[in-house]
Amino acid sequence: MSDPLPSTLASRARSALAGQHVLVCGASGNLGGHLARQLASLGVSLTLWGRKADALDRLAADCRSTPGTAVTTRCVDIADITAALAALRESDDAGPFDAAFLVAGAGDTRETGRRFESAELVARLGLVNYVGPAALAAELGERMAARGAGRIVLVGSAAASHPLPFAAAYSSSKCGLSLFAESLRLALKPHGVSVTLASPGFFAAAAQGTHAYARPGEIAPERVAQAIIGAATAGRSEVVTPRWFLLLRWLGAALPRPLRDRLLRALPVP
What is the nearest approach in angstroms of ligand NAP to the Cβ of residue 184? 17
Instruction: Choose, by CB under 6 A, the member of 20, 21, 22, 29 that binds ligand NAP.
Output: 29
Stretch in the footprint of ligand NAP (CB under 6 A) among 50-58, 109-117, 242-250, 257-265? 50-58
Contact 67, 40 (CB under 8 A): no
Cβ atoms of residues 245 and 238 within 8 Å: no
Distance CA 168, CA 114 (A): 13
Nearer of residues 76 and 135 to ligand NAP, judged by Cβ: 76
Q: Is 28 in the site for ligand NAP (CB under 6 A)?
A: yes
Is 196 an interacting residue with respect to ligand NAP (CB under 6 A)?
no
Contact with ligand NAP (CB under 6 A) among 51, 74, 147, 223:
51
CA distance 269 to 109: 8
Q: Which helix (H) or strand (E) holds 174?
A: helix 168-188
- When asked if residue 78 is in the footprint of ligand NAP (CB under 6 A), the reply is yes
Compute the least distance from the CB of residue 34 to ligand NAP, in Å.
8
**Which residue of 6, 107, 192, 216 would you call a contact of ligand NAP, by CB under 6 A?**
107
No. of helices (H) and no. of strands (E), the chain: 10, 7
Burial 196-217 (b: 16+ CB within 10 A, else e): bbbbbbbbbeeeeeeeeeeeee
By CB under 6 A, tell whether 32 contacts ligand NAP: yes
Q: Is 232 in the site for ligand NAP (CB under 6 A)?
A: no
In the complex with ligand NAP, which residue's Cβ is closer, 139 or 145?
Answer: 139
**Rg (Cα) of the chain, in Å, rounded?**
18
Please identify which residue in 81, 106, 179, 246 interacts with ligand NAP, judged by CB under 6 A: 106
